[in-house]
Structure 1
Amino acid sequence: MPRRPAIAALGGGHGLFASLQALQLVTDKITAIVTVADDGGSSGQLRKEFDILPPGDLRMALAALCDNSEWGLQWADALQHRFAGDGPLGGHALGNLIIASLWDLLGDPIAGLDLVGRLLGARGRVLPMAAEPLRIEASVLGADPAEPDAVTDIVGQVEVATTPGRVLSVRLHPDPPLVCQEAVDAVYDADWVILGPGSWFTSVMPHLLVPDLREALVHTTAKRMLTLNMVMNTGETSGFSASDHLEVLAAHAPELHLDVVLADPSVVVDGGEQLRSTAESLGAEVVFADVADSDRPGAHDTLRLAAAYRDVVD
């Protein structure tokens, strides 16, 4: 049997969830490295009240890696379950409360995440990209519709993700962030590192703004793959083409080399020439693969994405 590759997958939210579900069909050596800047919903409340890492994206990554057994799937459903109503528990995901409880009990975020992974029979490990909760700040053009030519600073993941303006750049606070050393080690130990898919400025780019993690991404001997989203022109990337996504990455980490850019053919309108040209400037080959979910517009199909990953990795 050939050795299965070690893969470090970077991102957050639903994009990382989709990538991890596909990757666990490719290998059992997965490390998810998750953004920790969420400040909305259940995660934001727990973060504010207890001064902890926002657990939501970490919870989703754990659920994505659950063992494909009755036990694993039931616990994954339990982790994702949200309480209804307007009371104190309304809107909280059970998994967020479990993770926060274990952090309080153990006093160690990594140990808490590893314990939840054992409960799920997770096919891989989930780590935060930083050892402290982060805050995103963005420079945005036209954030105020009344002043379309003005550049203003917007603070907070939710505010950046929902701004009606064009995001020009993002920063993290504190600066520099305190890196999670286990995440750095995972990047150096990987055979492949995969960035994206996900919200570009709030889930993908933040990893490049942690200096030690960016340094590892630049100097690792692993191959580097960027997975593009299924929808280009939406939300915080309104007006962006597929090529623009790569240019944003290059602007935030100009020294970063890529090997592969994975894209569904539907994300380009010119046959992909502009995307190929931009990818080449980063050292990468564009691989087009039909990875769209025909039943969920804008989403990746797990089996198709897994097949695309396997073809590239092999």
Structure 2
Amino acid sequence: MFAKKMFTRGAALIALTTASFSTLAEEVNIYSFRQAFLIEPIMEKFTQETGIKVNVLFAKKGLIERVKREGELSPADLVLTTDISRLVKLTSQDLTQSVNSDILNKNIPSQYRDPENQWFALTTRVRNIYSSADRVGPVDVTYQDLATPAFKGKICTRSGKHPYNVSLVASVIAHEGEANAKVWLEGVKANLARKPQGNDRAQVKAVKDGLCDYALGNNYYLGKMLANPKQVAWAEAVSINFPNQKTTGSHVNVSGVVLAKYAPNKENAVKLMEFLSGDVAQQMYAEVNYEYPVKVSVQPSKLVASWGQFKADVLPLAEIAKNHEAAVKLLDEVKFDL
């Protein structure tokens, strides 16, 4: 059971098993792929302002299957995810319902929400290319460059099947078509310094250790490493680069939220969704997790801002997400992880 390994307890954020989830009017229940400690301060603030208690069930995997299995009896009001692929999966499996909210539509740019109002982004994160600060320095680089001969034996990355990389491949398909994306993937694979492995932080460590000169990684991991005394040296060993600034712009993924199809506390859930898109929660997201607020008027943290401004890919995420299955297929075809 999830209850054995994943819960934290606070004044407003209470992690419970399904059996003890409540459907009282003053509560709202969340299934979360986002770690509880990251969202706890935000949920506590929501409770302070509204009097609505937030119950959170956290797990790294299996929540979509759980919601589907529970069906109409599910206590879940909202599902929080860490990437677009899970948002689309929830929607495609008919586990969500639309939310027509002027507040959400005002706070969240159209490219970061579902055209049918089934899912909404809450933060954005860039798929950056890190380079060795000593051996390379800052570079003007594109994702396409990673497949060129100049990068032979110089790239580290986590599994191609990880949602962050699947989304990147899907964006390449959206811009260039499947045939060109396959050629690109083959080129990137040929340039890898080692078999895909580990997480994004492990790639930065590999750059520090001299195993490679370039690594794919989300922007917020740099902030997390700088905040971790044991990993500061890793972070200081790399430069953070925003790819494709002269072409399509950097690929951006999102964390997001959906309203569960059978939400027992729908009204409270929508209030929480609107709160999460507002100034207070958006600023807290920025400061706590080094992500970019989805609400344009809210500024990133000082650390994140110090990395510089960048141009993001303007292609709607809904268009990119249509290519996720094709992206997984290509990754299998080129045997990227083998």
TM-score, shorter chain, exceeding 0.5: no
State TM-score, norm by structure 2: 0.29
For CA contacts below 8 A with separation 6 or more, give which structure has more relative contact order. Answer: 2
State TM-score, norm by structure 1: 0.30
Q: Decide which structure has the larger Cα Rg and report it.
A: 2
